[in-house]
Amino acid sequence: ELFTFDGVTTNVDQLQEDYNNVRDQIDQLVEDANYRGVNLLNGDNLTTFFNEDRSNTLITDGIDFTSLGLGLATGDFTNVDSIQDSITQAQAALESVRRFGSSIANDLAIIQVRQDFTTQTINTLESGADDLTVADANQEGANLLALQTRQQLGVTSLSLASQSEQSVLRLF
């Protein structure tokens, strides 16, 4: 797209200011997207453990969604070329946010399937607990509850990151 200037830069100056304000909002949003010491939008990775000895895991890779991490330089709308550069950077950033959203959705689906399996296992153990006389049902129940809690925290972390990613998308 080609831009033309009509001799009045007031509108262009306001657009530049708005663009830079959105950049600042992106940085603040990324800073606030922290959950239990993990910030997927600031490059931290989230490790979800699926069993009690922590041998089965899923690592969700974080990405740097700060304005600089997304490649969004400070807006300079003094000429057509710099405006076009800002547009190109914004389009690339938007594509990066969308790819990350897909990645989080896939990891969330995996964790939810594992959580469903764990819940079904808990239900099976609880229904058969009366038949068990040798095993310590309280200990096994506590182990499964701890596993379910860890998985729920993973789901919550990914959900929060996904919501923050949607907030970043809305800023575009």
Question: What DSSP assignment string belongs to 57-116?
Answer: EEEEPP-B-STTTTT-PPP--SSHHHHHHHHHHHHHHHHHHHHHHHHHHHHHHHHHHHHH
Instruction: Count the Cβ atoms, other than its own, within 10 Å of residue 89.
Output: 16
Distance CA 154, CA 12 (A): 44
CA distances (Å), 161 to each of 5, 14, 49, in order?
40, 31, 18
| Per-residue pLDDT tens listing for the chain (172 residues) | 455 555 555 678 888 999 999 999 999 999 999 988 999 999 999 999 988 898 999 999 999 999 999 999 999 988 889 999 999 999 999 999 999 999 999 999 999 999 898 889 888 887 776 666 556 777 778 888 888 888 888 888 888 777 777 776 666 6
pLDDT in the model for residue 154 = 83
> Are the beta carbons of 63 and 161 closer than 8 angstroms?
no
Strand partners, 85: none
pLDDT on residue 44: 95
Give the C-alpha separation, 59 to 49, whole Å: 9
CA angle 45, 104, 43 (to 5 degrees): 30
